[in-house]
Structure 1
Amino acid sequence: MTSSLHESRILRALAFTDGSFALIGVLVALHAHSLAIWLDALFSLLCALMIAFESSLVSRLGEPDSRQRPNGLAACEPLLVTLKGLVLMLICLLTAGKSVHSIWQGGHSTQELPLIAYGVFGMLLCGSLSWWLGGMARRLRSPILATEQHYFRFDALISLGVTLAFVISSLLQQSAWSWLAAYIDPMLSLVMVLITLPVALKVSRQGLWELLQLPADQHWQGEIERQILATLDAKERACIEPRLIKQGRRLRIQLHANPRNASWDSQQVTRLCQKVRQATEHCAPHLSVEWVISSP
């Protein structure tokens, strides 16, 4: 199974998991009257929607006909990243406005127990997914999964902050400073905005910069192509066409074999892919090599 199929299946599972977590967050926010949980739930929902788009995009990026439109599909990933950052900035600004208004009005009461339970659940879920995604990203050499690992780690840290804040709020309600408990939720929302807004700005800037940088550096691509051709013998060059496919943050090497010219068994294909990967390792480390049977 190719890495793009692995990525697509993992992303679909992540979209379902994150979407379910966001739905739980919305229900908890409605029940407990928490602005902070609203922000966390909307962040998770936004991530789930973008992951769902990425899951369909990953499988299409591997299509052979992307050679005729090398930057059309590749532009989708940075465009989605840019939109994700812009929408997240809008959510942060709206949450900041509501939080400031709540503080001005003297705060508001919340129900701490469901909020603490939600924070603990989110911390365990997102922390576990972040750890698992780190291993899968290294194994599949996937920058997409590495990016999602960053978001789930970030969400786990937010859930940790939510848990600690509402534990403090619960303790305050049983003390002489119980009036301070009403300010915990809007203050926590502002802190989360201050943490999330720089991330949203960074994501938007990176996505826009990547769009401006398409296509990849032609000299670098030419060097990779020369290394691939140099490592193939005359027979291999006669029946294999190497292609570089631009996919957002990365390139993929595809070896297109014409079935009319030669037949290849799995061991020959594996040896050839390894030989090409070793030949390009010094100028393009971690670049994946895929075998594609061209249509007769």
Structure 2
Amino acid sequence: MPATAAQNLKTERKALVIGKWANLFMAVAGLLTAWVSRSDAMLVDGLYSAVNFISAIAAARIGARVGLPPTRSRPWGYDFDEVLYVTFRSLILIGVLVFAAFVSISKIWTFFSGGVVPELVFGPIAVYAVVIVSICLGLAFNFHRAYRKTGKRSAILKTEARAALIDGALSVGSGAALLSLPYLEDTVLGPFVPIGDAVIVLVLILAIIWQPLSTFRTTLADLAGVSAPSSTYAKVARAARDLAREKGYRLHRAAVLQAGRMHWVAVYLDPEKPVRAEDIDTFRDILSARLEDVIGPARVEIVLTASDYTNPVQE
């Protein structure tokens, strides 16, 4: 493994280890605070941190495998593991938010149907909110710094940085809103204070659920084999075209897929003259090195063909 790649992996692992233990602390604190304060909002916050803790364990293992060479059992390597991780993590987060919505709606239904709703205890909420927000901001900064330090190519670090910010936003929003509920006692909204935290949870869910949904949509496109963004494709096509011109080859087209931080590139080429296998290997290696500088890590395959019948149908 090159020195730079090894250093990037070390930086990523260090950030994930810090995030793992921080999220375990926040999960325990959130669930304990939810039990003491009887707040659904605190329960959601604790569950979110618990998901982040479990995800950090999986992320560390997956990050160590991304970029490894193919094996007999994994002939195409381990690159898509990163995409699978982000996809399923998004699904789990969506599931947590849906569960939280169900719990909150149930509490509101109980209230309006004449049932008893437990009274909130506000003391532990204030302490929890201050501590957790500070931790989340620190985690988001640490993940983002590691993301930038590793060349902005790790989907895992990018996802974890966003998750830390969301967790912090949850804590800020829920904590501030819950602590403001006692001031509504003498207002027209006073009778509805017992379900205030349930309403707050629903508002927070509507505000943040777009993020895991957006991530899920993006990674699902990667898994489905959708072409990489047009800007990435243009850079690959330009690099392949320039190198083909230098070598005197004819370039038919290029195909580009993205799998997390790794790109898969197929170049359809007609040498238009006798070539040796090592010439094609040299072309591949030079192109890989050039793409490393413009789009990041890439696995390049060269397909020799005399015709351009492989051109895709435009939709």
State if a TM-score over 0.5 links the two structures: yes
Q: Deviations over 1:2-45 (max 9, x none)?
A: 21122123212211211221111111111111111111111111
1:185 to 194, 197, 202: 197
- TM-score, length of structure 2 as denominator length: 0.68
Alpha-carbon spacing, 1:71–1:219, altered in 2? closer, same or farther (3 Å): farther
Structure-2 separation of matches of 1:209 and 1:119: 37
Q: Deviations over 1:272-292 (max 9, x none)?
A: xxx99994477x24x269xxx
Q: Does the CA-based 8 Å contact 1:126-1:155 persist in structure 2?
A: yes
Max radius of gyration: which structure? 2
Alpha-carbon spacing, 1:251–1:98, altered in 2? closer, same or farther (3 Å): closer
Bigger mean CA deviation after superposition, 141-150 or 25-34: 141-150
Question: For residue 303 of structure 2, what is the aligned residue in structure 1?
Answer: none
SS at 2:224 equivalent: helix
Structure 2, unmatched stretches of 5+, are 1-5, 112-116, 247-256, 265-285, 299-315
Q: For the aligned residues, what is the CA RMSD?
A: 3.6
Alpha-carbon spacing, 1:91–1:169, altered in 2? closer, same or farther (3 Å): same
SS at 1:96 equivalent: helix
Give the superposition deviation at 1:89. Answer: 2.2
Question: For residue 159 of structure 1, what is the aligned residue in structure 2?
Answer: 171
Q: Deviations over 1:205-230 (max 9, x none)?
A: 12211111279799976876898999
Matched, 1:95 2:105: no
- TM-score, length of structure 1 as denominator length: 0.71
SS at 1:64 equivalent: coil
2:139 to 122, 129, 142: 129
More helix by share: 1
Structure-2 separation of matches of 1:178 and 1:218: 58
Q: Greater relative contact order (Cα 8 A, min sep 6): structure 1 or 2? A: 1
Q: How does 1:166-205 map to 2 (within 5 A)?
A: 166-173=178-185, 178-205=190-217
Question: For residue 35 of structure 1, what is the aligned residue in structure 2?
Answer: 40
Alpha-carbon spacing, 1:31–1:130, altered in 2? closer, same or farther (3 Å): same
Identity of aligned residues (%): 22
Q: Does the CA-based 8 Å contact 1:115-1:162 persist in structure 2?
A: no
Structure-2 separation of matches of 1:186 and 1:166: 10
Question: For residue 234 of structure 1, what is the aligned residue in structure 2?
Answer: none
2:262 to 248, 251, 269: 251
**Aligned pairs, number:** 252
1:21 to 21, 26, 40: 26
Structure-1 separation of matches of 2:290 and 2:91: 40
Structure-2 separation of matches of 1:75 and 1:277: 19
Alpha-carbon spacing, 1:159–1:225, altered in 2? closer, same or farther (3 Å): same
Q: Does the CA-based 8 Å contact 1:162-1:188 persist in structure 2?
A: yes
